[in-house]
Amino acid sequence: MKIFTIQPTYKKSVVNTVSWWKEIDEVRYVLKRESTYRWGEFSIAVPETEEELKLYAEDKGYDSFSELLEDYGYESNTTPEHMLLPDPDDDFVDLTEDFDAMCEDLEDESSVFFFIYRPFADNKEVELTELGNETDFEDELQLEAERIWEESYDEGLEEAGWNFILDDFQITSSVTVELKDD
């Protein structure tokens, strides 16, 4: 495997969103913590040999890498790097949704915001402040979650009954993509 490092071009463009859910009185609430970091580094492993390509494809539910390429709409001569690495010219990169990226380092958390959502039957999430009927209960719920997180982070939220959903990373600028030295 070849390992590539991914870094933002501009500072304060790494966004980490962590989500939890909790049911209270038969109403499900979603808590999101959105943090922005001054810098971050991520890595992506790209298969290199025929065996690595085959194992990668099988891990994704395909019989071969060429079948995976075809299913994703790529030409058969597409390189693994082209498919599995972000385009340095893109001004937004969703590392969690679009790539198999690992977070290696985050530096200098510059902002943290908490949001409470209430999903509807159609699974659409609407921020409670957008509903126009935010209640004192929901406001208190958000403040309590923030207090717990400040004291004991993710572990404290889980102890308070919040169930982890997702840890998502995005870069909101262009990126540099470099082959990592051994």
**pTM of the predicted protein model:** 0.84
pLDDT recorded at residue 138: 82
Predicted confidence (pLDDT) per residue in 111-162, tens digit? 999 998 887 645 555 554 444 445 788 888 999 999 999 999 999 999 999 9
The 3-state DSSP class for residue 51 equals helix
Domain boundaries, the chain: 2-179
CA distances from 100 to 4, 115, 128 (A): 11, 27, 32
Predicted confidence (pLDDT) per residue in 21-50, tens digit? 999 888 889 999 999 999 999 999 999 999
Quickly tell me which residue has 């385009």 as its tokens: 87
pLDDT (mean) for 75-103: 95
Question: Is the model more confident about 121 or about 62?
Answer: 62
